[in-house]
Amino acid sequence: MSLVTTKEMFEKAYKGKYAIGAFNVDNMDIMKAVLNACEKKQSPVIIAISSGALKFIGEEYIKELLVSSTKKYSIPIALHLDHGKSVELCKKCVDLGFTSVMIDASAYDFETNIKMTKEVVEYAHARGVVVESELGAIAGIEDEVVVDDKYGCFTHPDEAVEFVKRTGIDSLAIAIGTAHGAYKFKPGQKPQLRFDILEEIEEKLPGFPLVLHGASSVPHKDLERLNAYGGNMPEAIGIPEAMLQEASKHAVCKINVGTDIRVAYVGGLRKALAENPEKFDARTFITPAMDAVSELIENKLDNVFMSSGHAND
C-alpha cells in the first residue's frame, strides 16, 4: 500500500466515531514500533514528524523510509508534518512527499493566520496534499488566564467557521483544554476538556474533522518504570484516556501523541540498560524500548482511539 492522505481516513473516522492516532516519531526505531503496533491492530495511522525530528532523522530519509515500510504493512499510512511554523517549511515538506502538512500560525493574529494558512492550502492542494491548521491557544493552557467570556484562550466556534471557510483547510486543530508536553497542569489542577465548546464547533461545522494536540495521558506505569531505572521525571498529569475516548466519538478524527511515546521508549531503554550492564549489543537495549512503545500504542488503538480493526473500512 502506498502513502495516503488523511482525507479519506477522516471521513471514515467521523462516520465510525473513532479517531486516528497521529504519533510523533523521533527516529526509525520508534517509527517501526508504531507501525508494528498499528499493523497488529489493523488500524490506520498517521506518522507525525516535527521540524526537530525532520532535522534529526534527515529530510532526505523520511519519505524513503516510509515508502519502503508501505511494502511490508497493509494498513493506510499518512506522512504528516506536525506544527510547521512557516509557509516555507510546509511547502518543502509537500515537495519532499509528505501527504499532509500542518501550518501552525496560531501565534499570529487571526488575519495573519488566515493569510499564511491560505497560502499553504493553495500550494498543497495543487499537489494533492491535505492541510491542517490551528486556532486557539493550545500551548498556553498551563497558564492562569483571566478572561471575560466563556471561550477565553480556547477556540471560538464562530471564528472556527470563518477560518475554515476562508482558508479551505481540510482539518482544524482546536483548543479545548489539552496542552503540549508532560506537565500540562499545575498541582491541584483537574484536567478537563471543554466538551461544550467541542459540541458547538461540531454543530457549526457538521462533518468537518477536528484535531486534538497535546493529548498525551502520561500513563503512571510508564513514568514509574522510567524513574525506577535512573530517571528523575516529576509526577505529571495528562489528559485522562476516558476524555479522549469521548472526544473521538464526536468530531475529533485525529489525536496527537508525542510525550507518551518518549516516556515509554526511554523507560524501556533505561530498564534494559540497568538489567544488562555486561552487554554492549545495541539491539539488547533498543528492542525492549521499541516493545514498550508498541505496547503503549496498542492500548491507545484498542481503548482510547477505538481505531483497531478499521484499516480496511
Residues 149-182: tens digit of each pLDDT: 566 678 999 999 999 999 999 999 999 988 777 6
pLDDT reported for residue 111: 97
Average pLDDT over residues 299-308: 97
Residue 225 has pLDDT above 90, yes or no: yes
Per 3-state DSSP, what percentage of the chain is helix, strand, and coil (rounded to 5)? 45, 15, 40
pLDDT reported for residue 148: 44
Residue 32 has pLDDT above 50, yes or no: yes
The distance in angstroms from the start CA to the end CA of the chain is: 15
pLDDT reported for residue 153: 77
227 DSSP assignment: H
CA distance 244 to 19: 9
Average pLDDT over residues 3-22: 96
With bands split at pLDDT 50, 70 and 90, how would you rate the model's confidence at 186?
A: low
Q: Is 42 exposed, middle or buried (0-12, 13-18, 19+ CB in 10 A)?
A: middle
- Name the amino acid, one letter, at 68: S
Region of poorest pLDDT, from 70-84, 264-278, 297-311: 70-84
Q: Is 148 a catalytic residue?
A: no
Average pLDDT over residues 123-148: 71
Contact (Cβ atoms closer than 8 angstroms) between residue 39 and residue 295: no
* Catalytic residue of the set 82, 170, 222, 260: 82
How crowded is residue 313: how many other Cβ atoms within 10 Å of its Cβ? 15
Distances (CA, A) of 37 to 26, 30, 127, 130, 308: 16, 11, 30, 25, 10
With bands split at pLDDT 50, 70 and 90, how would you rate the model's confidence at 24?
A: very high
Please give the model's pTM, rounded to 2 decimal places: 0.93
pLDDT reported for residue 143: 37
Q: Which helix (H) or strand (E) holds 154?
A: none
With bands split at pLDDT 50, 70 and 90, how would you rate the model's confidence at 140?
A: very low
pLDDT reported for residue 86: 97
Region of poorest pLDDT, from 37-46, 54-63, 209-218, 298-307: 54-63
Residue 135 has pLDDT above 70, yes or no: yes
Average pLDDT, the chain: 91
pLDDT reported for residue 65: 79
Of 179 and 104, more confident:
104
Average pLDDT over residues 249-256: 96
